[in-house]
Amino acid sequence: MTYAYFPGCSMRGTGRAYEESLLAVFEKVGASLEELEDWNCCGASAWTSVDRTQAVALSARNLAIAERGAAAGTPVDLMAPCAGCYRALLKTQHAFEERGAVAEKVDAALATVGLRYDRTVRVRHPIDVLIDDVGLERVAEAVTRPLEGVKVACYYGCLLVRPNAPFDDPHDPTSMDRLIEAVGAEPVDWPLKTRCCGASCYSSSPFGPVQEATLELSYEILRDAKRRGADAIATACPLCQFNLEGFQPRMARAFGERIDLTVGFITQFLGLAMGIDERRLGVRRMMRWHLPEPGSKPQPVAAGGGAHASA
């Protein structure tokens, strides 16, 4: 199994640990990833609301390049781990399937740089690949250190499965939960798994009512997970992970309650269960990493680097 791989900008930035763990896990299950040559921004930003055609053109360049690598006519699977990139590229794929005016203009734009897109690309997500292509059995087989007793709340956020996802239910998704189960951990059933985390609103400055509102959104998610006994939250989006992990000290000050919850990438949990060394999974990059020892009472796992939250 080979996949064209679209990292997107966050994989090289705040989401480094996601890429590291993703590559390690995929190697373990025997799927190879070939990074897309000269890939560009997927256009996940607000540009789609400003000029849809331009946004699609930007994104479509990646699809055209992906196609170039494959033999003519064979469908290409392009995998994008960041939920934002996934959604943006998927929307672009659909825009071409609509065959409307946008597709025509974008075809023309691509032609000016000598590219053409023959609509053979299927945009995929690692979770989708792990469940539908690799299969839960194979994932389970690769486990050497099942995460027994570790309760993980899977957070899907909004872009991954909404408004529609070919691989899961938009209202009640369970794909990540099944992966967590396959590696021996205990998925937590919680209602806020698709609730908005506030997205990029928090990061815009200066701090004001918008930031307050998004801080609260993320806080509610963390608090609910904690209430339901989660030891950690698994995410599939670098921004969700960032929002949920990064501002816990601030939340403690604003809302008077310490959360102190580990927030990691789904692939990190899978990798741990597969016995992959923590360093290869980017654990040291996390701001906090406390997981109960599988099968015994919860014990802090030493994490190097990043400062711990000070209340």
Report yes or no: 5 and 34 within 8 Å, Cβ to Cβ: yes
Does 178 bind other proteins (CB under 8 A)? Our answer is no
C-alpha to C-alpha distances, 251 to 188, 218, 243, 272, nearest whole angstrom:
22, 9, 11, 29
Dist. CA 55–CA 113, nearest whole Å: 16
Q: How far is the CB of 3 from other proteins (least distance, A)?
A: 31
Q: Is 224 in the site for other proteins (CB under 8 A)?
A: yes
Q: Does 256 bind other proteins (CB under 8 A)?
A: no
- Can residue 260 be called a binding residue for other proteins (CB under 8 A)? no
Cβ proximity to other proteins, 147 vs 217, nearer residue: 217
Q: Residue 288's CB: how many other CB atoms inside 10 A?
A: 18
> Least distance in Å: CB of 259 to other proteins?
14
Q: State which residue, 121 or 217, has the beta carbon closest to other proteins.
A: 217
- Cβ contacts of residue 27 below 8 Å, gap of 6+? none
Q: State which residue, 148 or 216, has the beta carbon closest to other proteins.
A: 216
257 binds other proteins (CB under 8 A): no
23 vs 161 by CB, closer to other proteins: 161
Tell me the CA distances in angstroms from 171 to 64, 193, 232, one per residue in order. Answer: 32, 10, 22
Which amino acid, 10? S
CA angle at residue 24 from 269 to 10, to 5 degrees? 80
Q: Considering beta carbons, is residue 51 or 169 the nearer one to other proteins?
A: 169
- Cβ-based nearer residue to other proteins, 34 or 257: 257
CB closer to other proteins, 227 vs 308: 227
Mark residues 186-205: x for contact with other proteins by CB under 8 A, - for none: ----xxx-------------
The yes or no reply on residue 107 touching other proteins (CB under 8 A) is: no
Q: Is 270 in the site for other proteins (CB under 8 A)?
A: no
What is the C-alpha to C-alpha distance for residues 203 and 240, in angstroms, rounded to an integer?
12
**Helices (DSSP H) in 152-303: which residue ranges?**
175-182, 209-227, 238-246, 248-255, 266-273
Work out which of 118, 172, 257, 277 binds other proteins, going by CB under 8 A.
Answer: 172
Residue 35 contacts other proteins per CB under 8 A: no
Non-local CB neighbours of 223 within 8 Å, separated by 6+ positions? 257, 259
Q: Closest distance between other proteins and the C-beta of residue 238, in Å?
A: 25
Sign (positive or negative) of CA dihedral 259, 261, 264, 270? negative
Contact between 220 and other proteins by CB under 8 A: the answer reads yes
Which residues lie near other proteins (CB under 8 A)?
A: 169, 171-172, 190-192, 220, 224
